[in-house]
Structure 1
Amino acid sequence: MQVEWLIFFYIGVSVAMAFFDLGFAAFEHTRDVLFKRETQRMALSLNEEIVLNAKFPTAKHKHRLTQRLKRLPALEAFDLTMQQFRGLDEENAEMYLLGIGDVFERLALYYQQKKPLNKAYYAYILKRWYRTRPASPAIVHTLMLFVEQGTVFLRQNAFEALAQLEDVDVVVRAIKLLDDNSAFHHPKLITETVLIFAGDKDALADALAADLDDFSPATQCAIINFLRMRHRGDRAHLLETMKDDQIDREIRLACVRYFMTNPWSQAESVLRTFAQESDSGEWEYASVAASALAAYPGPETIELLKGLLTSPVWYVRYNAAKSLYDLGATLEADLADVLEGDDRYAREMVQYRWDFEEASEA
């Protein structure tokens, strides 16, 4: 009797799953149909207004648009429609977006009260389509709240929206809020966002460099990476930071990478010291410094890197071989003694690197 009950149970579960799949398929179909209708209505409304009143959208249109954009499907439809219009007539589309700036401002307080998903999509729409400069205080305040209180997706969308407002002080404030937040925000996201800053990136780099020591180690790494890519920052301060063994390891490594992209003769001796680090627990310094020395050509650098090919750490050997190749070292002249030497690992690493690079260039 127990076997029969198990069979009936299995049949019941299978039937329930079938009904669920059918119901979900019907829901998705209905949603697609409704979204297409919403998009068509949005396209008709926007097209009419852009054609007739691109510079000065009417109050009636803006009121209707405000009410419609309180719904998530309408936000999606607006995004899709504006993307299409902008591709067809960018000038009028941009004038229209300037004209409806106050619509986004009216929606700011409304979306402060909504669920994280709705907030995140509103922040995304602001990033793409809000054009008023300088930005409304209501918009800035709302996005700052999202940065301070939101989930990681909401924080990041809001931060990216703030980066489009072309205001250095606003972005610095946002980074400080992220830094003070108990929720972790990956430093790579910070670096990538400041790199898309719509304003003066050099002014932003200088502002962040001035407050560098006020941030947490993770955020300092993000800022140093940004300074490295923008070729900005106080070299003397970063050198002292790199030399200070009381400073967080990741910050010092970020400084090593900084002087790889931004070579400075006064940093070379410190990089050489790092490259010759013999403590197995500190192999990361030797590994990153081996890469950085590719920016400091010379016979002494070649000899030092050849010595690193005998390191017991694979990453150190790998980076040393890469730097030797980048510096133009040749197998016949500069590395003949390595290829004829007794260290099998050094020979294999050199041969692997040269084979790999030559295959990549072929």
Structure 2
Amino acid sequence: MFFNIETLIYTYLFICISLLVFNLLYIFRSKGRERRQKRNADAWVKRIEWQMQRIAQGENIEQEHLKLAEKKLVKTEALFSFGAALDALEEKSPGQTDAYMYSIQGGIQVLASRYAKKDSMDRAYFAFLISRHCPGSTEEFKPVMEILISFLDDSTVYCKENVLKALYSLGNVQAVENALQVFNDRGWFHHQKLLSDGLLTFRGDLEKLAERLWSHHREWNDRIMLSVIQFITGFSENYKEIFLPFLEQETAGREIRLAIMRYYRRHTYEPARPLLISLLLDEKGEDNAKIVAASVLSQYPGEDTAAALKKALQYYNWYVRYNAASSLAAQRIPARELLDVLEGKDRYAKEILEYMLEDAKAGEYE
């Protein structure tokens, strides 16, 4: 089948013009949407400021305002404008919207139940709004927390993360525990770093949260418990004795034991030293355990530690040797005490230790 060259040219020009028109229409529509959202956000700022004045004077929120919010904010675009208004007010004076959000908690509950029926992206934004603008842990928000947990079903990773952020922001231990129980029961994957870092932003009592979450260490899967251990590592010294038996138990999961070993790097505990040395020198032990032990022992200076690290310099695994040399250098051991390595016959041990000592020395002058 053959086409006239002029027909092809005109067809090409038509396609180009169509794309140009489409792009122009899209730009104009986007600009119009932005202006409309700006107007709506400004209108919400005025409404919210008026209600905050009433609250400051000891008066209640107007019922008309509450009804308006319940009616309009069921649309996600309107919720964007409402969120922008809250952001603008918070930028002027952080924390000033807390009393307002507390006063409209009944309306928030109504909206939460309606957004529970929407798709994942709409639920994600509603949860995001709560995570940014909430008055903290209050009994009145418990129904909202329960609805937020229901958002987790049939949702994206983005929605799940925003729900968790909202629960952290609300600061209720039971709500976070219930959410993670759902993750465990459903077998959902959630990145350990997202989970552990998020738990550290919890606005309630971190120690109580840690205690409640750790109580599930025999029930929850290792992925979740790894995040819990990393979370505990980030702030608490109260688990030194509790974690220690897990270094001795070979029945504990490999990643769990490694995470607990790293806990003892940040929170030093003398009774952990012999166990760490044993893990480093265990001929039948796994390389990953030796790698971590060699790193953690940098925080446990002493003759027995130095002897173990020197021996580890001769191990076949490069990462074990690297961490052992790094730990020896970090402990500022006098050079005369390292002569057995520096003047020894093991070239690899000598070279990596020399490199680490020079690197540590250079770091002192930076």
TM-score, normalised with respect to structure 1: 0.89
Alignment of 1:256-267 (within 5 A): 256-267=261-272
Would the alpha carbon gap of residues 46 and 248 (structure 1) be closer, same or farther in structure 2, given more than 3 Å must change? Answer: same
Q: Counterpart of 2:325?
A: 321
Q: Counterpart of 1:41?
A: 43
Q: Counterpart of 1:345?
A: 348
Q: Counterpart of 1:195?
A: 200
Q: Counterpart of 1:78?
A: 82
- Cα offsets for 1:282-318 (capped at 9, x unmatched): 2111100011112221011112112222333222122
Q: Counterpart of 2:248?
A: 243
**Aligned mates of 1:57, 1:196 — CA distance in 2:** 30
**Aligned mates of 1:6, 1:312 — CA distance in 2:** 68
TM-score, normalised with respect to structure 2: 0.88
Letter in 1 for 2:350: R
Q: Counterpart of 2:297?
A: 293
How many residues in Structure 1 have an aligned counterpart in Structure 2? 360
Q: Which moved more, 1:318-327 or 1:5-14?
A: 5-14
- The answer to whether the Cα contact below 8 Å between 1:209 and 1:233 also exists between their aligned partners in 2 is no
Q: Counterpart of 2:179?
A: 174
Q: Counterpart of 1:32?
A: 34
Q: Indicate the RMSD between aligned Cα atoms, in angstroms.
A: 2.6
Q: Counterpart of 1:183?
A: 188
Q: Which moved more, 1:188-197 or 1:12-21?
A: 12-21
Q: Which moved more, 1:316-325 or 1:107-116?
A: 316-325
Letter in 2 for 1:257: R
**Aligned mates of 1:316, 1:45 — CA distance in 2:** 63
Letter in 1 for 2:112: A
**Aligned mates of 2:251, 2:89 — CA distance in 1:** 56
- The answer to whether the Cα contact below 8 Å between 2:309 and 2:328 also exists between their aligned partners in 1 is yes
Would the alpha carbon gap of residues 28 and 339 (structure 1) be closer, same or farther in structure 2, given more than 3 Å must change? Answer: farther
Superposition deviation, residue 53 in structure 1: 4.2
Match 2:120 to one of 113, 116, 120: 116
**Aligned mates of 1:17, 1:289 — CA distance in 2:** 61
- Cα offsets for 1:14-43 (capped at 9, x unmatched): 444434433332332222122212222222
- Cα offsets for 1:83-124 (capped at 9, x unmatched): 332343456533222222222112111101111111011011
Q: Which moved more, 1:34-43 or 1:350-359?
A: 350-359
Q: Counterpart of 1:98?
A: 102
Q: Which moved more, 1:22-31 or 1:288-297?
A: 22-31
**Aligned mates of 1:347, 1:3 — CA distance in 2:** 78
**Aligned mates of 2:42, 2:235 — CA distance in 1:** 44
Match 1:151 to one of 143, 153, 156: 156
Would the alpha carbon gap of residues 47 and 136 (structure 1) be closer, same or farther in structure 2, given more than 3 Å must change? Answer: closer
Q: Which moved more, 1:222-231 or 1:88-97?
A: 88-97
Letter in 1 for 2:71: Q
Q: Counterpart of 1:333?
A: 336
**Aligned mates of 1:312, 1:22 — CA distance in 2:** 64
Letter in 1 for 2:174: D
- Cα offsets for 1:122-167 (capped at 9, x unmatched): 0111122222612434202211112344211111111121122222
In the alignment, structure 1 residue 51 sits paired with structure 2 residue 53: yes
**Aligned mates of 1:233, 1:89 — CA distance in 2:** 37
SS state at 1:213 partner: coil
**Aligned mates of 2:10, 2:322 — CA distance in 1:** 62
Would the alpha carbon gap of residues 53 and 267 (structure 1) be closer, same or farther in structure 2, given more than 3 Å must change? Answer: closer
**Aligned mates of 2:144, 2:219 — CA distance in 1:** 27
SS state at 1:164 partner: helix
Q: Which moved more, 1:134-143 or 1:299-308?
A: 134-143
Would the alpha carbon gap of residues 10 and 313 (structure 1) be closer, same or farther in structure 2, given more than 3 Å must change? Answer: farther
- The answer to whether the Cα contact below 8 Å between 2:173 and 2:208 also exists between their aligned partners in 1 is yes
Superposition deviation, residue 11 in structure 1: 5.0
Superposition deviation, residue 3 in structure 1: 9.5
Match 1:305 to one of 305, 309, 315: 309
Q: Which moved more, 1:259-268 or 1:11-20?
A: 11-20
SS state at 1:65 partner: helix
Q: Which moved more, 1:17-26 or 1:190-199?
A: 17-26
SS state at 2:218 partner: helix
